[in-house]
Every structure is written in C-alpha cells, then in structure tokens.
Structure 1
Amino acid sequence: MRFSVKYLPTTLFSLKDSNATNSGAKSLFLPSPYAIKMAVLNQAITVGGDLEQLEEKKSKVFGFIRDAKISYYIQDNSFFSVNNSFVKILKPARDGGGFGQTVAFREYLFLSHALEIIFDIDSDEQKEYLKKYLHKINYFGKKGCFFQFVTYNDNPNEPNVTDFDAKRLLPGVLQEYDDFDSKCSFDRVNNFSSATTKRGKRVMLIPVQKANSSKSYSIYRK
C-alpha cells in the first residue's frame, strides 16, 4: 500500500552526509528517510502530544513511523543547482574553554520542482497516522531549509529514486542515506536519551546527470 506527499522547496536545501566531517561536508540531494521520520516525530510530539505513546515499549505509533519505507519521485525536466559555499561555524576550542570560529565547506541546493515523497505502508491506520502530521512539516535538513506542503496523493507515481542494485546499472548519482534501523526504539532516536543511535544505511540512485559546472556550482538535470 502506498501514498505520497508533495513538497515544494521554498529556500535552498542542505543536509550534511552523516559520514562527513564538520569542516567539509557535501549535501545530500534529498531529505533522507531518517530526516523525514524525525520531522514526523517532532510534529507528533509538539503538535499531537503523542510523547507518552511514543515512549511505550513496543509502541505501535512509533512503529508506524519507523516501519514506513520511503522512496522518491523526481519530475522530468527537474534540475538541482548545487552551490559551493564557505561559511563560518563554531567548534569547541582545543583548550576546552568555550567555542572558537572556523571556516567550513558546505553545499546548498536549489531544487527546481516539487519533490514527491512516497511512503510504502502496511495499513490504513498507519497511513492515517502519518497523514495527521506530514502536512504540518515545514522544513527538512538544516533549520531554515523550508518546504511547502502541496498535496497528498493516494495513487503516487512509481519511484524513480530507488535503492542501488548492482545488477541494474543505470545512469545517475549514488548517495548514501540514513534511515531508522528496523529494530530501533524511540529511546534510541531521542536526543535527550543516553542510548546510542544505530542508523540504517541505504545507497540510493538519483536519476540525474551533471549538465554544467564551475568552481562555485554544479547543475544536475533529470
């Protein structure tokens, strides 16, 4: 069973690869499944008041979020403009006293068209729970990377951003995306918990090709 939700990016997007260092980080092209599910959790807690249900052992509502399989559809003629930037960030001082300024490399992406995020789910109850909060999300990735909800679709397009299969060699860009581990609990994704987080990893093929580039930007087209 599938449904999808469309979001239109309204600002530049940036989401650092979790394997990157703090000083130099390329951005993922799309919000990761992990980031999307954390955004749903945030709405479920702050808007829905579901914290107690999420904290329960073997929580059904947490399972609704964790177990959704996420894929994507990128419209034809879409393009991604990847802008290279050097920004000032704060990092802990080496002497242990406060923070110091340093320069870091970051990428900020302009997405030309709405992004369709597709959810593969098991039940109508799971769909209704996710739909309670998905339209309330207004950013993914770094704060300030705003997305505008457009619509739900119960008959989504077939995903064209899929998990990489070495037996099917197709053109595109490979990126590694984080997801919730299949056995994770709310405690393991709670920022205020001492439990360690184990993230699932998915290598995904994005069907775009580089069309133009310079020292300050690169253009990828669908």
Structure 2
Amino acid sequence: MAARSNLVPTPYSIKMALLKVLLESQGGQHQSDLDQWIKSQFIWIRDLSIYIWPPEKLVVNRNGYKLRYYDQTADKADRSRSTLPMQDGFVFREWVYMQGHLQICCGPSGRLTQLEQLFSLINYFGKRGCFFQYLPEYKQQTLGPLFQPNPTTSFTVQPMDDLGEKTTFNRINPYSTDKAQLDKDRVIKPGFLPVQLTTSSAHYDIYQR
C-alpha cells in the first residue's frame, strides 16, 4: 500500500527546516565554536511549541505513473551486453494543493526577530517536492497562541511528529554516532486538524476548513 501525504507540515519538519537554514546562514560564522553554538541554538528551537492552522481548502491529487528505468543489477551481472537493460516500474505520487494561507504559530520565545529571519529563508518543509514562502505582512505577535488543536471541532486526524523534550542535537545529527530513538528523540502523536473531507474519488480528495 502506498503511503499517504501529510496535509500540513508537522512540528518536527518545521523545526528541522529552521535548523537547516540556521546552519546554512550562520554556521560559517561559528567555525571555531560550532559544537557549543549549535547546541545552544538547538535547545530554543527544540523547545518551541508549534501549532498549525490549515488553509481554507486543500486538494489532494493522486497519480500513478508507469515508467521504465535502468536495471543496475542486470547490467553488473552481464557486462558484455550491447544495450542497457531496462525494467518496468510503477510509482505513486500525491500532490497537495493549498488554497489560502497556511498559518504556523511558534512560541513562546524571546527570539522573535531571529525566528522571523529564519522563516524568511525557508522554501520547503520535509522533502524537496513542496514549496512554501514566508509572507511577512501576515506576521502577528501575541501573548498566547491564536489557535490550538481542539478535538471537538476537528474532523481530520494526522500523525504529528515532534522533537523529544530531552533530545540533543547529536541525536538528530546524521553525522553523529549517537542514535535517535523513536518515542524518545522523535515523538509521534495524533494531530487534530479543523478540516473536513467534503469530496473524494479515486484520484482526488477535497478538504474544507
């Protein structure tokens, strides 16, 4: 069975995107104290509480593609072949189109200026197949979150992963020998989205907030 796409980015993917652009934009200035600097920066990003408010409408388009691609195994087994071996394949893809603005609530934090700068550098969350753009004219600063998950007014459940409250940078660093543990360094909980499935078929779903 093919995997289903998330309707909105998760707190884990948002925090990892923040870490990525932080390292890319400021890491070069801390070459002499990189380990100490990134550990302190990681803590405030890890401890952010993140809530997601979906756009007014989401359309999920499902497509299957037949393709032919290079068979590396067969080619290595017979180097005397005069032609490249090919094999048939099938891939499944889902594309999520958002109509309206996706809102992300982050906090509490005393680094609002830095947080805004980092969000302005992000153009995707998770895998590179998506695109997001920060819109500074819609920024709001409040004493508390404007929205939080509410199961009584939500119609769609999506798994939401997040960084564990005690995880360290080395645990999520792919170049470190420390290993991350599921449900400890990366925690997955059910997330409640205030969107309702209004139309569905074999090739698409439409969700309305």
TM class, shorter-length: 0.7 to 0.9
Q: CA deviation at 1:102?
A: 4.0
Q: CA deviation at 1:143?
A: 0.7
Q: CA deviation at 1:177?
A: 1.2
Aligned amino acid, residue 11 of structure 2: P
Secondary structure of the structure 1 residue equivalent to 2:177 = coil
Given the alignment of the two structures, is residue 204 of structure 1 paired with residue 194 of structure 2, yes or no? no
Q: Of the candidates 162, 165, 183, which is equivalent to residue 182 of structure 1?
A: 165
Alignment coverage as a number of residue pairs: 187
Change (3 A) 1:148 1:89: farther
Given the alignment of the two structures, is residue 159 of structure 1 paired with residue 147 of structure 2, yes or no? yes
Secondary structure of the structure 2 residue equivalent to 1:132 = helix
Which residues of 2 match residues 13-52 of structure 1 at below 5 A? 24-49=2-27
Aligned amino acid, residue 212 of structure 1: T
Conserved in 1, the CA contact under 8 Å of 2:54 and 2:102?
Answer: yes
Aligned amino acid, residue 127 of structure 2: K
- What TM-score, normalized by structure 2, do the two folds share? 0.76
- What TM-score, normalized by structure 1, do the two folds share? 0.72
Given the alignment of the two structures, is residue 111 of structure 1 paired with residue 89 of structure 2, yes or no? no
Conserved in 2, the CA contact under 8 Å of 1:54 and 1:61?
Answer: no
Residue 142 of structure 1 aligns with which residue? Answer: 127
Change (3 A) 1:137 1:171: closer
The CA distance in 2 between the partners of 1:58 and 1:41, in whole Å, is 9
The CA distance in 2 between the partners of 1:51 and 1:103, in whole Å, is 46
CA deviation vs aligned residue, 1:45-69 (integer Å, no higher than 9, x gap): 1111176666339932111110001
Conserved in 2, the CA contact under 8 Å of 1:89 and 1:104?
Answer: no
Residue 17 of structure 1 aligns with which residue? Answer: none
Aligned amino acid, residue 22 of structure 2: A
Root mean square deviation of aligned Cα? 3.0
Which one has the bigger strand percentage?
A: 1
Given the alignment of the two structures, is residue 120 of structure 1 paired with residue 100 of structure 2, yes or no? no
Q: CA deviation at 1:130?
A: 2.0
Which one has the bigger helix percentage?
A: 2
Query: Percent identity at matched positions?
Result: 29
Structure 2: runs of 5+ lacking an equivalent:
77-86
* Greater relative contact order, per chain length (Cα 8 Å cut-off, separation 6+): 1
